[in-house]
Amino acid sequence: MSSFQLSALGALIRNSAVYRSIIRHGVANTNRNRSLVVFENLFLHVHPVKVREKTLKFSHTYWLGGITLVASFVLIVTGIFLMFYYHPSVPQAYRDMKELMFVVDNGVFYRNMHRWAAHLMVFGALLHMLRVFYHRAYKPPRQFNWVVGVILLLVTLLLSYTGYLLPWDQLAFWGVSVGTNMAKEAPLVGKPLRFLMLGGNIVSENALLRFYVLHCVVLPTVLLLFLSVHIWRIRKDGGVQGPPEKDASDEVEP
């Protein structure tokens, strides 16, 4: 019995027709109701109803994939806040940065949070990949999910890189100039690809607009698509895989 249900107000809410139309199971104090909490909920139903106890250990995954996922969630929320104050044009984009820092309530906080969450997402994805490699969690049946993970890493880098240009300060402009000059060197496709990305031969307002569209619409959509596949496949492939386990042949029956 939870204290929430014991209070008079709690009982009133819990027994109301509206609440019971949304949450169709009783208090989660029986295993049946605890199961229903998980599989009657859109957001929780990728979980199995029961998990192996050892997967709860911190050293099982170090939560690296989860931390990367939370970072991307923070990025989406703060990114939407920033979009309300941002115009992808020259030099208005830079003025909007100053506006965020000195005029908008909490603007500097959300910009900072977006920036540091972006670093966390790149760093977390790299560490997560290494954790999976050293735990040999790419083994069958998880091969395809590893490939999806590599795609997600590339999308993460592209997201971070397109966002890097948006403030339109010296750091952004020259950082992107250096990077896109590298892309130019690819045989045959290099120069046309760079022209396509930048909408010209130099980093200009066309490049800013294209990077903005990629950063705010195209790449987040691709990320969410592959992220959904990634998380769904974890469940389908038998849950999170921690440190390498002994082969079944080595095991002794209890």
Site for other proteins in 105-134 (CB under 8 A): 108-117, 119-120, 122, 126, 129-130, 133-134
Q: What is the closest distance, in whole angstroms, from the C-beta atom of residue 16 to other proteins in the complex? A: 23
Q: Minimal distance in Å, beta carbon 106 to other proteins?
A: 10
Peptide bond before residue 88 is cis, with ω within 30 degrees of 0: no
Return the range that interacts with other proteins (CB under 8 A); candidates 14-22, 159-167, 209-217, 218-226. 159-167
The residue assigned the tokens 């008079």 is 8
- Tokens 């790149």 -> residue: 122
Q: Print the binding letters for residues 203-242 with other proteins: x by CB under 8 A, - otherwise.
A: x---------------------------------xxx-x-
By the rule CB under 8 A, 245 interacts with other proteins: yes
Contact track, other proteins, 58-97, x by CB under 8 A: -----x--xx--xx--x---------------xx--x--x
Phi, psi of 22 (to 5 degrees): -90, -55
Dihedral angle of Cα 49, 52, 53, 57, to the nearest 10 degrees: -110
- Binding span for other proteins by CB under 8 A among 6-14, 16-24, 163-171, 221-229: 163-171
What distances in angstroms separate CA 219 from CA 81, 161, 162, one per listed residue? Answer: 18, 11, 9
Query: What are residue 189's phi and psi, to 5 degrees?
Result: -80, -15
| Packing angle of the helix pair 190-198, 205-213 (nearest 10 deg) | 90
Of positions 3, 9, 24, 53, contacts other proteins by CB under 8 A:
53
